[in-house]
Amino acid sequence: MRRLRLLALLLVVASCRRAPPTPPTPVVSTPTPPPRFVFIDGGAHLGETVLAFEKSTLFTKHPWSIVSFEPNPELSPLIPKRPELTLHEEAIWAKDEDLEFRFAEEETLGGSVVASVVKMPHMKTVKVHAIDFSQWLARMYRKDDVVYLKFDIEGAEYPVLEKMLKDGTMALIDRLYIEFHGEQQAIAAKAKPWEVVDAKRKDNELVEAITGLGIPVSLHQNEEPQGEYFNFNPEKYGQAW
């Protein structure tokens, strides 16, 4: 009995000497970084769109960073330098690979990685690196960022936009400025009337799919001056901005 009492006493003493319970670790919330304002100039040419963007009211409203893509080795060195501008001498495409880029030796030096798009008497062909644009976009930006995208990429817009719609990266875009090339190329190739209509239908379907996500689309026509994207009248196309 005496041993039992001693054991009980030792247990009481041991319990009294136990360390106090550890207080719960406070939850520290990581502040969400502020949104970035980004203008992506796909098919920069000589930088005409950036120059027009800098003159727009839109440009004065936020601290924009600019990312320009121009794979033509004879044009990219001529793009105006800016502290906030990053230049990629690469083609925008639906996967990462090296492609042949064909461009006119005269006129505007316009070119494409899509062989059927630019056809002129005197053409040059160079090897360029093309990037998977939707993967690059997902790697670089988040949904909270404000991303305005311009595409004048001479026929490459079709596989790129289709992939962006399929993998969901189109949702990272807040506004799209674009020149489609299907209809004009069909006309230039003297396609049958139904083929021209079919090319136009494909453009309309893409615009409907993109605007259906709540993303406004500014349509640039081939006959308009380079960089003339910011005087777009959305009501002409039944869009709300």
In a domain? residue 111: no
DSSP states of 193-230 as a string?
HHHHHHHHHHHHHHHHHHHTTT--EEE--TTSPTT--T
- Its domain, for residue 72, covers 34-95+134-237
In a domain? residue 45: yes
Domain count, the chain: 1
Mean pLDDT over residues 192-200, rounded?
Answer: 81
pLDDT in tens, 147-175: 999 999 988 999 999 999 999 999 999 99
Give Cβ neighbours of residue 217 (< 8 Å, ≥ 6 apart): 175, 176, 177, 178, 207, 210, 211, 237, 239
Task: Give the pLDDT of residue 213.
Answer: 95
In a domain? residue 14: no
Tell whether the model's pLDDT for residue 223 goes beyond 90.
Answer: no
Whole-prediction pTM value?
Answer: 0.81
Mean pLDDT over residues 34-39, rounded?
Answer: 95
Tell whether the model's pLDDT for residue 235 goes beyond 70.
Answer: no
Residue that has been written with the tokens 């502040």 in this structure:
31
Give Cβ neighbours of residue 181 (< 8 Å, ≥ 6 apart): 117, 154, 155, 157, 222
Decide which of 229 and 48 is more confident: 48
In a domain? residue 57: yes
Mean pLDDT over residues 52-76, rounded?
Answer: 91
Task: Give the pLDDT of residue 24.
Answer: 73
In a domain? residue 86: yes
In a domain? residue 41: yes
CATH number, domain containing residue 202: 3.40.50
Pull the structure tokens for residue 119: 């056809």
In a domain? residue 107: no
Task: Give the pLDDT of residue 236.
Answer: 55
Distance of CA 216 to the CA centre of its chain: 14
Confidence of residue 188 (pLDDT cuts 50, 70, 90): low
